[in-house]
Structure formats: structure tokens, C-alpha cells
Structure 1
């Protein structure tokens, strides 16, 4: 049974599900920062997914990165699976813009998170409703 790591539960807001991955929004309004988590048990590394899941994981990651780049006007997309703090396999997909609070440095540990307001989350969800494919299921708001 798939369970989301408690740290990811604490730091993110649920958006919905692709066929393989749960899509989360990091609760930091300084950056459009999303996280994809394959809904598989006890997976720490990409190579632990079977071949079909690996393919799907990368497809969902690249599809999301392209959508976010266009939707949020990114200057650069940062895509990374680090897992040093949270070992559960997850992919960060982050919209970066010249002049964002950490530009051009990495965003980790640069500034305290600024939580989203309910209105900001609703606006992001609405933007995504217009661009995500039919195989994406939004979570309850």
C-alpha cells in the first residue's frame, strides 16, 4: 500500500494524480515548486521501479516540466530527484525565474518558506485544470 512520507505530507499540498505519480505542491509561494511521487511501496531509487514504471515516471516528469514552463513563464526548469532528507523516491519540478528570491542559486535552504494562501492555491489549481491532460485526476480541494 502506497504511503506518502510524513515530511512530504507536512511540506506539501495535494494536487492530484497522474497514472503513476501523485502530484504535490510545495507549500512555498516564492516558487511554483511541484513534487512527483510514484505511488509504489518502498521505492527509494528510480532503478527500483520496473521498466514500464521508469518510462512512465520520466514521461510524467517531462510532461509536467513542459506544462509548468509554459504555464508559469519559466526562465529555467529545475528537475531533480535528490532524496537526501526524504528517502522516498520523488522528483522536484521547479519553475525558476530570473529575479526569484534564490536566483541563480539552488532554492534549498535559501529562504524560509512562505505558505500559500487559499486563494493562491485555488489560482494554481485553476491554471493547471486548463492544461493537464484527461488522465490527470485532481484531488479534493
Structure 2
């Protein structure tokens, strides 16, 4: 199973297990995590068997809880759109009043503001530690 090229281009690694790739969106405007199940040819959440659905929900909840705590977000946006990238992936985005797209959705709004080479979000090491993941 390979990570979709668009996800590989737009995100950076947080860590991975046999079940997931955990990535951060390379856009300084938002604290944004993407969880990608490592399941071949799965496009929709309902295509996972029930234990895998529950495991994914647990991972989404863990990421959301820690990202909100680390960023002080007022609202957490969670979505699995898949209209552009067919590979199943779940977005977890920390939102604040006054962010560039507030109160609207982040998708299709403005242009990403990538981090400079070698830079990363301040919350990233603490999230990695909270999830007990290390980049491979």
C-alpha cells in the first residue's frame, strides 16, 4: 500500500504504524493532521470492517483531543471528503476565531502557506510525544 501522491506532496510525516500513516498538512495557516489508514483500495469509511472503523475513530479522537489541547483551538473540524484524493484519509483541523477561513471551511479557501524547509509547527513534537509515535 502506497500513500497517494497528493497526500505525500501536501503533508509531512508525523509517524506511522502497520495500520496508519499520520501526517501534518504543510500549511502554516492551520494546525492540521491527516490520518491515512494503510488499507489497499479503501475509499470510504464504511468499506472498513467494524473493528477497523472503531480503531480509526479512536485514532481520530486521540488526535483531535491532543491537537485541541496543544493549540487551544476553539473548534475542531473533522472530515473525510475524498473528492480529490480517493484514498481514505481523515482530516483533523484545529480552528480559531480569526483564522483565515473562520467561520467557513478550510477547503478551497485561499492558498496554502507552506513551512520553510526544515521548519515545522511548534505543536508537532508534543503531539508526537502524546501519541507515542516517532517518525520512521
The verdict on a shared fold, with TM-score over 0.5 as the criterion, is yes
Equivalent residue, structure 1, for 2:74: 75
Instruction: Please say if 1:15 is aligned against 2:11.
Output: no
Whether contact under 8 Å (2:26, 2:115) holds in the other structure is yes
Quickly say closer, same or farther: Cα 1:127–1:44, change in 2 above 3 A.
same
| CA–CA separation in structure 2 for the residues paired with 1:102 and 1:36 | 22
Deviation string for 1:68-114 (max 9, x for gaps)? 11111111000000000001000000000010011001111211110
Deviation >6 Å, runs of 4+: none
Equivalent residue, structure 1, for 2:135: 139
Equivalent residue, structure 2, for 1:102: 101
Whether contact under 8 Å (1:20, 1:56) holds in the other structure is no
Whether contact under 8 Å (1:18, 1:60) holds in the other structure is no
State the Cα distance separating 1:63 from its structure 2 match. 1.0
State the Cα distance separating 1:3 from its structure 2 match. 0.7
Quickly say closer, same or farther: Cα 1:129–1:87, change in 2 above 3 A.
closer
Matched residue of 2:15: which SS? strand
State the Cα distance separating 1:125 from its structure 2 match. 2.8
Deviation string for 1:18-57 (max 9, x for gaps)? 5622111111010001100001111001111111111100
| CA–CA separation in structure 1 for the residues paired with 2:130 and 2:67 | 9
Aligned length: 136
